[in-house]
Chain A
């Protein structure tokens, strides 16, 4: 079965510094990988995804993620963090369900706190 891991419960970073939120995955075939962000009391919002092609994927709000097949990682990055980036970030992988259809497995989430 496919899985996704976010090893850090929380990441603290100073405003203006680069940020990285880590994600590793385990798949049996080609991975479909996603990042979502959840602001307090809100639903999840799509940030970016990797399906195929360029290993560096650019997404919303200046975020990007690098797909690394050899390290089975898909870390989320931003060159300069903003206080407004503080939120809960979820990595997700597409999995094949038992009925032959796709389902999505989410990581446990990483809380990003950007300090002014």
Chain B
């Protein structure tokens, strides 16, 4: 069974559209993350939630809004998509006391 899952796997959309990426983990973890990996494979944290509470919010445009309806889910909504948003977005989760993160398979977002 998949531990951390993301949908969709691929997302192709036009500039200016609004889109969402969903993430779910069935590991019983209390902390979830969103990362962005650019075309050069640089990986940068965007957000982190612990027990549904936002604890890390890096310098990310406010067009990006994470939402955590419960501890097992962390969704990412993006408004007014721009070309520079094209990247692979990874969701991850961890148990706060152990630090080891488990990553989802990624969502490849292409903005045309």
A positions within 8 Å CB-CB of B: 32, 34, 36, 38, 41-46, 49, 51, 88, 90, 94, 97, 99, 101-106, 108-109
Inter-chain pairs besides A101-B55, A103-B56, A109-B42, 20 sampled, C-beta below 8 Å: A32-B99, A34-B99, A36-B101, A42-B105, A43-B4, A43-B105, A44-B90, A44-B92, A45-B103, A46-B100, A46-B102, A51-B99, A90-B43, A94-B99, A97-B55, A97-B56, A99-B55, A101-B48, A101-B56, A106-B43
Q: Does B104 contact A (CB under 8 A)?
A: yes
Select B106's contact among A43, A49, A104, beta carbons within 8 Å: A43
Question: In the bound complex, how far is the Cα of B105 from the Cα of A45, in angstroms?
Answer: 10
Quick check: B50 and A101 within 8 Å, CB to CB?
yes
- The residues in B between 42 and 69 inclusive whose CB is less than 8 angstroms from any CB of A are 42-45, 48, 50, 55-56, 58
What are 26 inter-chain pairs, A to B, with CB distance below 8 A? A34-B100, A36-B101, A38-B41, A43-B4, A43-B92, A43-B105, A43-B106, A44-B43, A44-B90, A44-B92, A46-B100, A49-B99, A51-B99, A94-B99, A99-B55, A101-B50, A101-B56, A102-B99, A103-B56, A104-B101, A105-B45, A106-B42, A108-B41, A108-B42, A109-B42, A109-B43
Question: In the bound complex, how far is the Cα of B106 from the Cα of A43, in angstroms?
Answer: 6
Residues of chain A with a CB closer than 8 A to B58's CB: 103
Give the number of chain B interface residues (Cβ < 8 Å). 22
B positions within 8 Å CB-CB of A: 4, 40-45, 48, 50, 55-56, 58, 90, 92, 99-106
Residues of chain A with a CB closer than 8 A to B43's CB: 44, 90, 106, 109
Residues of chain B with a CB closer than 8 A to A36's CB: 101, 103
Quick check: A44 and B45 within 8 Å, CB to CB?
no
Question: In the bound complex, how far is the Cα of B104 from the Cα of A113, in angstroms?
Answer: 24
Residues of chain A with a CB closer than 8 A to B44's CB: 106
Residues of chain B with a CB closer than 8 A to A32's CB: 99
